[in-house]
Amino acid sequence: MTITTMSRLEELNDLQDRARRVDVRKDEEFQAILRDARGVLEMSESQIADGLSISRPTFNRWINGRSLPHIAMRNPAIIWILDQLDSRIKHRTACLRSDLKTKTKQRPAYPRTDSNSKVKHRAAYSHGN
């Protein structure tokens, strides 16, 4: 689970970096962020459309390049996507921390080395020598 969580976290961070640097005036960059957000966020077109307060067909036209929103609508869309990414990154990071704490607690303890246990250990393996 940790490897999957790590790779998902890397995907989320990568998209977050790209979304922060996107030039919303460039149609192809904006479309790529929308398309990739749908996959990385694991959300349906309807879920993203609802978050952006648009219809699902409108969102579909945006990601397929049949129409694009006015420049004034693009920044709020990117901000919403960044909010979603931030939320998912925080959740995945918390999961990783929890996994690490659990694994640390489950690690077998090393045997204590008091004088009695050393004597018992030596006696068990001495074979009469």
Task: Round to whole Å and give the CA distance between 67 and 86.
Answer: 28
Of all residues in the chain, the percent with pLDDT exceeding 90 is 62
Average pLDDT on 19-48 reads 94
Domain assignment of residue 21, yes or no = yes
pLDDT at site 58 = 96
Residue 99 lies in a domain: yes
- Output the CA torsion 73→79→84→90 (10° steps): 180
Q: Using the predicted structure, report yes or no on whether residue 121 has a pLDDT greater than 60.
A: no
Per the domain annotation, does 90 fall within a domain?
yes
Assigned domain for 117 exists: no
Q: How many domains does the chain have?
A: 1
Range of the domain at 27: 2-108
